Structure 1
Amino acid sequence: MTTVVELEIPADRLGLARTFDHVSAFEFRIGGMIGGAPPLVWTGGPDRTTVRQALEADPSIDVIASVADDGDAAVDETGAGPTDQWLFRLEFGDGVKLFEQLVTENDGAILSARGDDHRWILKLLFHDRESVSACHDLLEQYEFGADVRRISGVNDLATARTPLTETQYETICKAHEQGYFDVPREITLKELAAELGISHQALSERLRRSHAALVSAELSERSAPMEIDP
């Protein structure tokens, strides 16, 4: 079944980490990244000059072109009018090229990529769950630090019930069953980690992400697709 995967990867593994360090509120957005040509990248920040200078000084990329002149205002994708974003054509380095290779070799495609707060968020399309698992294993092997935010079948969106991944859901259920959320607690974090066969640190991070996903879903007031870890 065709599967859409949303991943979060640190910028220092893919690129633009130096730009994030030097430009407050820097963000970017890319459409599809399939093909050999350097992609067009919408960028945002305090002003165009600051963003351009930071990009030009970033060793993880090459600025191929600034698509509009400095005095031109960008127009958003709907044609609605000027925005505070600027368009560049960027050549990314080895991190992105290796990532693209791993996705493509597993019959995947990069639908979109965006970034803020020193991270990339990518949406990938795969033909089946086996390809998802194979690609995820390789991303771990090459230490991309990929965090699976969401996995859904294209036809599953209407029936989704929870924003949690399967692993997060199972962890929350286990924690509840063992009395971790009781007052006072009936099991410590260390003891729960031993029950699950993972490290204290891994469990702490998993619970934090689970709580964040649940709070975000509650506040958004909209349903989210069920996520299943590869």
Structure 2
Amino acid sequence: MTTVVELEVPTDRLGFARTFDRVSGFEFQIGGMIGGSPPLVWASGPDRDTLTQALEADPSVDVLASVAADGTNATTDDAADIGQHDRWLFRLEFGDGVKLFEEIVTENDGAILTAQGRAGRWKLKLLFHDRASVSTCHELLEQYEFGVDVTRISGVNDLASARTPLTETQYETICKAHELGYFDVPRGVTLKELAAELDISHQALSERLRRSHAALVSAELSDGTAPITIDP
């Protein structure tokens, strides 16, 4: 089944870390990264000169061209997502971090649909032909220490029957916690006892529960997806 994966990656693993440090309110939007060619990137900041100077000084990218400013005919549908500052279109050559990330994705039958960044993190949407490719790609990204945080996975064919935003591991954890009375008042089991029952560390369980709660709250405020097979 065709699968869409949404994830976040720290800028120090992909790029723009220096620009985020130097430019207040810096955000960017990439419509797609296909075939390894230098992409067009919408970038926003306080003014064009400050932004251009920061990008030119950033060792993770090379500025090949400054193409257009917002308001010209060189626009993309996704550009509106990057915020309220003025924005400019650049053609950028990314460094080894992005090239390795893209290589891992494409060699596992995946494609980068969109990439955007704000507050010091990349947010990417990837498309894969099947779940097996997702798992293999995720393992490689962990092996190369990209610090990937998977936030959502959905099967294109099952969005209509979506029920929960939890990963399968998160779902099983919440079910076990509920079964053992962790959410009761008073609690029927402590966090330490629940961690032992699940055979994971106290810290890992705490992180998993926090992510699960965040996913459930987010879904309640918007819309959810079906359980997924990769746990962040």
Contact 1:74 / 1:85 at 8 angstroms: preserved in 2? no
| 1:184 aligned onto 2:186 | yes
Question: 1:83: how far off?
Answer: 7.0
Question: 1:143: how far off?
Answer: 1.0
Residue 217 of structure 2 aligns with an amino acid whose one-letter code is: V
1:121 corresponds to: 123
Segments ≥4 residues shifted beyond 4 Å: 80-83
1:40 corresponds to: 40
Match of 2:157, SS state, is: coil
Which deviates further from its counterpart, 111-120 or 170-179?
Answer: 170-179
Question: 1:133: how far off?
Answer: 0.9
String of CA shifts for 1:87-139, please: whole Å, max 9, x gaps. Answer: 11111111111111111111111111111121111111111111111111111
Residue 120 of structure 1 aligns with an amino acid whose one-letter code is: W
2:205 corresponds to: 203
2:54 corresponds to: 54
- The two structures have a TM-score, normalised by structure 1, of 0.89
Match of 2:24, SS state, is: coil
Question: 1:207: how far off?
Answer: 1.5
| 1:172 aligned onto 2:174 | yes
Residue 114 of structure 1 aligns with an amino acid whose one-letter code is: Q
Which deviates further from its counterpart, 196-205 or 94-103?
Answer: 196-205
String of CA shifts for 1:209-228, please: whole Å, max 9, x gaps. Answer: 211111122223xx322140
The size of the alignment, in residue pairs, is: 225
Distance of 2:205 and 2:71 partners within structure 1: 44
Question: Which aligned pairs between 1:12-51 and structure 2 lie closer than 5 A?
Answer: 12-51=12-51
Distance of 1:46 and 1:178 partners within structure 2: 53
Match of 1:155, SS state, is: helix
Contact 2:181 / 2:189 at 8 angstroms: preserved in 1? yes
Runs of at least 5 residues in structure 1 that lack an aligned partner in the other structure: none
Runs of at least 5 residues in structure 2 that lack an aligned partner in the other structure: none
Contact 1:73 / 1:83 at 8 angstroms: preserved in 2? no
Question: Which aligned pairs between 1:1-230 and structure 2 lie closer than 5 A?
Answer: 1-68=1-68, 72-75=69-72, 76-77=75-76, 84-220=86-222, 223-230=223-230
Residue 162 of structure 2 aligns with an amino acid whose one-letter code is: A
Match of 1:182, SS state, is: coil
Residue 161 of structure 1 aligns with an amino acid whose one-letter code is: R
Contact 1:74 / 1:84 at 8 angstroms: preserved in 2? no
Residue 121 of structure 2 aligns with an amino acid whose one-letter code is: R
Residue 25 of structure 1 aligns with an amino acid whose one-letter code is: G
Question: 1:13: how far off?
Answer: 0.9
Provide the aligned C-alpha RMSD in A: 2.2
Residue 37 of structure 2 aligns with an amino acid whose one-letter code is: A
Residue 102 of structure 1 aligns with an amino acid whose one-letter code is: I
Distance of 1:74 and 1:201 partners within structure 2: 49
Distance of 1:229 and 1:21 partners within structure 2: 35
Match of 1:6, SS state, is: strand
Distance of 2:138 and 2:85 partners within structure 1: 36
Distance of 1:190 and 1:201 partners within structure 2: 9
Distance of 1:86 and 1:32 partners within structure 2: 17
Distance of 2:165 and 2:207 partners within structure 1: 16
Distance of 2:46 and 2:209 partners within structure 1: 35
